[in-house]
Amino acid sequence: MDHNIAKIRHDYNLKGLHETDLDPDPLKQFKLWFNEAVKADITEANAMLLSTVFNGRPSGRIVLLKDLNQVGFSFYTNYHSKKSIEMESNPQVALTFFWKEFERQVRIEGRIEKTTAAESDEYFAVRPRGSQIGAWVSDQSEVISGREVLDDKTRELNERFRDHAVPRPPHWGGYRVTPDYIEFWQGRPSRLHDRLAYLKTVDNSWKIERLSP
């Protein structure tokens, strides 16, 4: 090994996070942090780790946030994919955002469900045409014999849809995570980070707690 992994270290010292800094609504607080990341031109500030559990085995992958409202966090995918099968079996999931340029992390836990067909249609219509074709081409998570399988299907579908708009595949659409836990993490020196967590109560309000790093 060329480098000593144990010696890779970065001390966080940009800023702190106090309870008085937070909006009482965690979704509004998330939007504040997210908008700062977007304005700073962080590459794919909407990239998030989606974590699922299937038969007791955890699984994670990066997906892209495509909508955020007062209900929750939305993204789009193939409904036949491995992650979709896992989410249909166990709708309890987690999302993680990390913006290293701001030394910030947000952890979200909650329940997932499909968006409406109308919402999926609306988003699909504004995707680049290449991505629309790609949604038809990919049997996501299935084993294929080689790259030529994708290339051949792409040529075939470009020809099929050459003279008209690409419709949304019935196996492709959105999911929305409705959170019941959101944690904001701000890096601090000596690994004594600030961690402030919102927990949804039985009356659907939010309780804020500080966690030890």
Catalytic annotation, residues: 191
At 118, list the tokens: 């109308």
DSSP-based three-state secondary structure for 51: strand
List, as residue ranges, the binding site for FMN.
61-66, 76-77, 82-83, 105, 140-141, 185, 195
Q: Is 17 strand, coil or helix?
A: coil
* Separation in Å, CA 177 to CA 29, 50, 110, 152: 17, 10, 6, 35
What are the C-alpha distances in Å from 63 to residues 77, 121, 132, 198? 9, 19, 17, 23
Q: Which residues are annotated as a binding site for substrate?
A: 9-12, 66, 123, 127, 131, 191-193
Count of CB atoms within 10 A of residue 150's CB? 14
What DSSP assignment string belongs to 76-135? EEETTSHHHHHHHH--EEEEEEEEGGGTEEEEEEEEEEEPPHHHHHHHHHTS-HHHHHHH
Binding residues: 9-12, 61-66, 76-77, 82-83, 105, 123, 127, 131, 140-141, 185, 191-193, 195
Rounded Cα distance between 22 and 157, Å, is 49
CA 202 distance to own-chain centroid: 26
Helix H or strand E encompassing 61? strand 57-64
